Structure 1
């Protein structure tokens, strides 16, 4: 670590009156007392404590968790498209290059804010209640920044104070064990809970609340109970250089799963009492200019808009949002379907689901394709049904061919994946408004070579950049109201569906089948598919499949991948489950984007995209310079 790795000078961030709370811009301050001389300055100082949080939608910098978890792919070009090639390491950090330093800078800023609060004179304009909220938010953020380091690097340092510029490097702490860091974060949550507000409406939306802290506790303990950190002999030699203690537990503890149940049931109970619930038909409403499309399939409408309908803080499912603007190079711009006029973005249509993601979604019976007894050959070429997704769109796909795999799938598939002959919801396409009504805002996709969304350049040569590399389009996180530029909306960081899935996973690990399934079915019902027992007993080739503990955990994991698709979870989930090689160590599959005919295009092929993974990459590498300057901060295992 640099000698001044905590100290960044006293900064405050000016709040933009026209923006949400986290949409903030740094401004240097020259005098310490300026940072708490007026109510506005105090609030700016608090905002600066938030400023080091990862910018989750800036795909060129820090959003590796959002887009590097195998769910989507991209042609080889930039950091996020090459990250999964496995070339990153302590001297070549790739997309993690900003994570290490920002965490410690953020923690230092929070401690300095708390020190400033201690020095601050009475300020009648700020109530005791608001000052209590400020302190609690800073305490929570100290814990949350430690969690960011924990989920990225595993066992990490615990900072209990801000360090001065002249602190000797030897005085900085070594890495604490994973369980010690969990206990510290738990302590920070306990400190924060009594002082956190239950809500922050209006322009304050995005500030931390009481329920944010409960949600973090659930996620943190879920990670701690998982195979990567709960009795993992991979890390038998991963020990403190000072006293030799193991930094990752070598003994499996069932009590860790019981702790997940305890804290998650508490969180769900308190949130239920406060009016939180899964986003439903009442919230989705009927099609409108702001929420067009999906007039015929209410389940598709629910699952598409539960992560998009977040403005104003009225979404009852969302627990905490990132309210910062997405920016010029956000996921939306790379997701929106390719157009030939009107909105034409150089990188549009480029973030695309892998074929593995397409296969992973359930059938309309709520089953994996390979277990649905009546599904037939998923790779057969068939004539696409006029109303393949049940929405009754008037866009004409008559006579088009597609894969059987694209038919009779679950609502989450149609809400999130654009495919050959299918429909893509969009407010304006090629400079015109599609369809006849707000419920009819969709165009038909033709992704064959030379076709409107296909790979061919104007000159006739195959594109090597700026095309759908897998032959699919992504819909997730793109508002169907998109016209000529990004639609700004708060991005959910915690939502209720995750809590039910956390609880289901804990019950599966404890062998409590019925309780696990009860929580899964809450999520499945909203998704418009049969419950676990109904699906497996009535439509599968293997009735009672869920009665085996390992099979039940497989069902839990798949449900999590589908419900939380492209929300930043899979990157960590496949690692904490110790199965990342199955996803990141195999070739990317897609359709043949050079195919001009249906028969050629609809062939499943391995793409010429390098993908490598080794055991060290279960944890991200610590910057080489930091481990050299402070030998007590040892490097993660398996990085040579």
Structure 2
């Protein structure tokens, strides 16, 4: 896809010799394997106070002056702010009962009857008193930590370049946490550079949605000016200008979307001041242009590419879409939560025979059906070649890389050390502990981001990092925004084709990868939305997408299904869909409620629409 970079937009330092000559700190080790002083530091200066608004911090004998006069303490303080960037992404976020996947129509809650935010969103029982407060407490705790760091940034014992670079990283992280708040709640209190104490009277007035968007995007722009496009060497994993611009593009995409861009069925009848807090008062199609332009800038950087490398793992050929996700260093990730030697996803998502603990969600049949055929057609298309008696044959390769089904060929460990590759998974009825109705409630397990030769019950780990922003998303962000503004232009087609080509969809005689020429805006919109659903599955997008598109009352208010497979001896398998769960949705659930414990702290903190404010 050809995209043009606006002349003079930014001057980046990716070739600046000062970057390569400066003293380097190992971000991954300091962030995830901190020394004792870092743990003390976390408690001393970045812990949350449970009974104070905006999560004030406490102090110990390791005071601010001591911390910020020491380079190791100071950099560990910054690393601690990085440590929570993926909390919303976590597949076990809600009391080890799935994450936002289970809170949406993407997948089923793994442990029925366990009180958790995922369960509350699934059955519609969520309330301000029962919703998790992690978004509010974590984000404001880390925003305060950023403000503390920036307060001292000009006097840190670093050279001038490192002072500016780490301050810019801190600005980006503050923007990241503010956007996490924005997508959960709408407009939230913007506290600027303030650092509140127990003695301060804190005004808890929520800022308007517009003010929050302007602040976040402005911070992204300012941070980008001081950062290399992508950090390298021992600094790989820290935020660069590419991450700043990608976050800006995502924020503007949300801002242009129907939930926030003017009047709709959610905000109808909501009066001021709340009306301006939950979205723009007047619609403006130019917001789509702003989002498309911001995504185009990221695509034009040239530093990041769609990962297209095939590899061999234990004698098995691994296609690019799967190989990508366990590569610690790759050119597709713009921002990631750095991990070291982990089996986190294998443990929560794999079946019992592979050491899975059952804390991760189980994919619904509706998601399986959303995956294309290899020729790029939907399974309901008469030209697709779909065979309901062999439902997994000739499908989009991303299906196998995302979801385990009956007879999927996956790794097996018998001695916890040596992998046996390509062993068929037995999920048919009465097949054993892995089977449908035994562990999985839907007949499926998640396979996304798992390393092909690692299981939950092996002794090895992988260097996988959580993909918080990757270029595949930016292609789809651009395609969506450009299509909404101008319709299906050649650039929109090119962006979708790039994603499908990398996925392994067949080009076809017309080299259109299953797309039709001359589609309308509405037809292309349906294509792009489904492409996001399958390309970005289990990457914390579907929950937010169906809300910003204002279709959650359709997708989240249905009876969801699973697949029962029956095998009798050598006879052909029989496939039968079955009802799993009736999900319930009401208008209030377009936004998270602010936790009742936070509302109770200030008479000025306004609750989101349609949620009861009673204790």
Name 2:90's counterpart in structure 1.
57
Q: Say whether the 8 Å CA contact 2:373–2:384 is kept in structure 1.
A: no
Tell me how far 1:128 sits from its aligned partner.
Answer: 1.1
Tell me how far 1:581 sits from its aligned partner.
Answer: 2.6
Q: Distance in 1 between matches of 2:146 and 2:253?
A: 26
How does 1:70-149 map onto structure 2 within 5 Å? Answer: 70-73=105-108, 74-78=110-114, 79=116, 82-83=119-120, 84-93=122-131, 96-118=132-154, 120=155, 123=157, 126-149=158-181
Q: Distance in 2 between matches of 1:191 and 1:344?
A: 46
Match for residue 549 of structure 2 among 562, 577, 580? 577
Match for residue 279 of structure 1 among 302, 307, 313? 307
Q: Distance in 1 between matches of 2:262 and 2:548?
A: 12
Equivalenced residues, count: 554
Q: Distance in 1 between matches of 2:93 and 2:346?
A: 13
Tell me how far 1:70 sits from its aligned partner.
Answer: 2.3
Name 1:215's counterpart in structure 2.
246
Name 2:5's counterpart in structure 1.
none
Distance change >3 Å, CA 245–CA 446, structure 1 → 2: closer
Match for residue 575 of structure 2 among 602, 606, 610? 602
Name 1:9's counterpart in structure 2.
none
Name 2:593's counterpart in structure 1.
621
Report the TM-score when normalising by structure 1.
0.79
How does 1:373-392 map onto structure 2 within 5 Å? Answer: 373-375=383-385, 378-379=387-388, 381=389
Superposed CA RMSD: 3.0
Q: Say whether the 8 Å CA contact 2:246–2:298 is kept in structure 1.
A: yes
Q: Say whether the 8 Å CA contact 1:238–1:248 is kept in structure 2.
A: no
Distance change >3 Å, CA 216–CA 345, structure 1 → 2: closer
How does 1:414-453 map onto structure 2 within 5 Å? Answer: 414-424=400-410, 426=411, 428=413, 441-452=421-432
1:405 is paired with a residue whose SS is coil
2:127 is paired with a residue whose SS is coil
Unaligned runs of 5+ in 1: 1-14, 382-403, 436-440, 457-461
**2:448 is aligned with 1:476:** yes
Match for residue 377 of structure 2 among 358, 367, 381? 367
Tell me how far 1:60 sits from its aligned partner.
Answer: 4.2
Q: Say whether the 8 Å CA contact 1:22–1:50 is kept in structure 2.
A: no
Distance change >3 Å, CA 185–CA 613, structure 1 → 2: same
How does 1:46-445 map onto structure 2 within 5 Å? Answer: 46-55=78-87, 56-57=89-90, 59-61=92-94, 64-73=99-108, 74-78=110-114, 79=116, 82-83=119-120, 84-93=122-131, 96-118=132-154, 120=155, 123=157, 126-166=158-198, 169=201, 171-233=202-264, 234-241=266-273, 247-270=278-301, 272=302, 274=303, 276-281=304-309, 284-285=310-311, 287-289=312-314, 293=316, 295=317, 301-309=319-327, 311=328, 313=329, 315-324=330-339, 330-339=344-353, 344-347=355-358, 351-375=361-385, 378-379=387-388, 381=389, 404-424=390-410, 426=411, 428=413, 441-445=421-425
1:510 is paired with a residue whose SS is helix
Tell me how far 1:452 sits from its aligned partner.
Answer: 4.5
Distance change >3 Å, CA 605–CA 633, structure 1 → 2: same
Q: Say whether the 8 Å CA contact 2:27–2:236 is kept in structure 1.
A: no
Match for residue 528 of structure 1 among 504, 512, 532? 504
Q: Say whether the 8 Å CA contact 1:177–1:247 is kept in structure 2.
A: yes
Tell me how far 1:245 sits from its aligned partner.
Answer: 5.0
Q: Distance in 2 between matches of 1:218 and 1:17?
A: 25
Distance change >3 Å, CA 468–CA 103, structure 1 → 2: same
Q: Distance in 1 between matches of 2:307 and 2:573?
A: 41
Q: Say whether the 8 Å CA contact 2:100–2:118 is kept in structure 1.
A: no
Tell me how far 1:44 sits from its aligned partner.
Answer: 1.6
Name 2:562's counterpart in structure 1.
590
Unaligned runs of 5+ in 2: 1-24, 45-59
Name 1:399's counterpart in structure 2.
none
Tell me how far 1:326 sits from its aligned partner.
Answer: 8.5
